[in-house]
Structure 1
């Protein structure tokens, strides 16, 4: 074979080796090397598909940026702990894989429990901590049954009115701030408690009324949830539940602070009209005589009245013959304040006896649950 024939053959073989032999070697390295090199940003796409648990891939989008690592998350805190303090759980990488192998919350309200991998988010300064007070009803108020109630709470330092879809975005995003204040909303939750002085916590799954308030209120911090149908007779507790936009409880910067929510107790009773506002007109110290303000012998608290001899506070009751306001009426025939001022004559909630809540159907209303 002549030299002019051999040379083209050798050149062709060399090109084939360069294109296919070396290319095959790089192809194997690129195709499988990503599985063994979880932190290699150049193999990120392979890693994201084949080795997503190694926190790399997608050109670094799934990587934990070293600048956001909380170094104290890898400290159990015991070195400077006081007696009785517990060791913290530790992780060098922000607990990024804490939920591995568990059911992820994934924006759902999982009643069986779940694990949420989303960061807590932005936390306000102490000057922007949330504080709340119930405006209506007030603690100890008595309201009429089955009549409209406008539950109102005033909240400082909340940018109210942001309320994400609770069906698919529950806890899926961190708490955020606007102008240094938490962006979110509040809720009103009402539970029947049976007795204003109860020492038994109510069942958290049971409520008489619940509503998320997804508007900005009056712009001055007051937020309201109306209940047109009202409530049946009973003793209730109403609380605010303030949340960030994605419904998680709001987070504050320090432990020593006032609470960010408020609760009050109130009574729903048909006898509540004169009792609301501190038993107005019935205070035994007001010195109103037999003819004064409907408290005479024939008045609202006379012998036939609500607090007369046959009434709830009559001769046998708290204001009977020996009680706070005399035998024939609230402030009967012997003078403005009867024969003795029993200190508990007006006590209780409109004369409502204990146990009246039993046997009644429990009221439940869900205007909007989130």
Structure 2
């Protein structure tokens, strides 16, 4: 073969080999790139799975009771050291976390048919931070004109007032909490008609009230809280009470059983004649004084009569029938005076008693 023919053939073979080798290199590179992409995708998927598992574990932990929160006395019915008449406590190994299973849940609602609330009671203050209240308007026995504005006022110690959650969807939905050691919450004013008597002997119907107001502000900053009833009240006898709650409307919880109450009540009267009580008392005093005066006069006159009788008898012995006649006249006159005055004194007493009875009907 001539040289001129061999050279083109060798050149063609070299080009072909070069192209073939280059293509094979590209395929290897592509394979490596594909493997890297697959590895990255797998790693990403694994990471996502791990994240999902972590989230699931977190959610599962939120629904689990932390062993550090188990209260072991809830496992004790208390009868071992009980005094006579004390009842056995219910027990549970897990803080009663499933106590409401199968029951209608409160779930932040005011369920009139009754429900079960699984929310913890919450934080309890120290005994030197217990809530205490006193009504300052009206005061016990006050008389108030009908259908006029009334500012009910209560002063409360150891309450961080002004925290009032939405009672339509958060009723009993969170535990009692503290701020600076004091309960965070608010109070209410509730007024009930006690009927025809300021001091009823039967419990009032808790579903019936003349006025109710939750106070959702912090008051004057010194513990005094006010609820205003612009329309006032009709005539009658009433009881007004404070009703103090934590933020989510549950009654405030105290640390010890032996204590003073956290709320206060007073009785008052709404009347168009607010001075009747005072007039009645004045009438009683005046009539009592008259009765005492009448009795005193009758006693004095009776003594005078006895003295006159003694003198008359002495005169009868020493002076005769004329003295007897004088004695008789004196006795008759003294007797008439004594009898008349005595009847007047008794009448005074009788009249006073009747007025006192009538007056008591107006005591609030």
Normalization by structure 2: what TM-score? 0.65
Assess if the C-alpha contact under 8 Å between 1:142 and 1:349 holds in 2. Answer: no
Q: Displacement, 1:323?
A: 2.4
Aligned counterpart, 2:351: 323
- What is the alpha-carbon distance in structure 2 between the residues aligned to residue 95 and residue 115 of structure 1? 12
Counting helix residues as a fraction of each chain, which structure ranks higher?
2
Q: Does 1:182 align with 2:212?
A: no
Aligned counterpart, 2:359: 346
Alignment of 1:62-101 (within 5 A): 62-101=63-102
Q: Displacement, 1:347?
A: 2.1
- Are residues 283 and 155 of structure 1, via their aligned partners in 2, closer, same or farther at CA, if it must alter by over 3 Å? farther
Alignment of 1:292-331 (within 5 A): 322-324=350-352
How many aligned residue pairs are there? Answer: 262
Alignment of 1:1-370 (within 5 A): 58-194=59-195, 195-273=197-275, 275=277, 282=282, 284-285=284-285, 322-324=350-352, 344=357, 346-349=359-362
- What is the alpha-carbon distance in structure 2 between the residues aligned to residue 208 and residue 227 of structure 1? 10
Assess if the C-alpha contact under 8 Å between 2:281 and 2:359 holds in 1. Answer: no
Assess if the C-alpha contact under 8 Å between 2:281 and 2:356 holds in 1. Answer: no
Assess if the C-alpha contact under 8 Å between 2:123 and 2:175 holds in 1. Answer: yes
Structure 1 portions without partners, runs of 5+: 1-22, 31-41, 47-55, 290-318, 325-339, 353-370
Cα RMSD after superposing both structures: 3.2
Q: Displacement, 1:349?
A: 1.5
- Are residues 279 and 190 of structure 1, via their aligned partners in 2, closer, same or farther at CA, if it must alter by over 3 Å? farther
Q: Displacement, 1:59?
A: 5.0
Structure 2 portions without partners, runs of 5+: 1-41, 290-346
- Secondary structure of the residue aligned to 2:359 is coil
- Greater relative contact order (Cα 8 A, min sep 6): structure 1 or 2? 2
Assess if the C-alpha contact under 8 Å between 1:161 and 1:213 holds in 2. Answer: yes
Assess if the C-alpha contact under 8 Å between 1:121 and 1:176 holds in 2. Answer: yes
Deviation digits for residues 24-75 of structure 1 (CA, Å, limit 9, x no counterpart): xxx9xx9xxxxxxxxxxx96766xxxxxxxxx86152222111111110011
- What is the alpha-carbon distance in structure 2 between the residues aligned to residue 105 and residue 203 of structure 1? 23
Q: Displacement, 1:218?
A: 1.1
- What is the alpha-carbon distance in structure 1 between the residues aligned to residue 176 and residue 156 of structure 2? 17
- Are residues 345 and 105 of structure 1, via their aligned partners in 2, closer, same or farther at CA, if it must alter by over 3 Å? closer
- Are residues 279 and 139 of structure 1, via their aligned partners in 2, closer, same or farther at CA, if it must alter by over 3 Å? farther
- Secondary structure of the residue aligned to 2:360 is coil
- Secondary structure of the residue aligned to 1:204 is coil
Normalization by structure 1: what TM-score? 0.64
- Are residues 192 and 75 of structure 1, via their aligned partners in 2, closer, same or farther at CA, if it must alter by over 3 Å? same
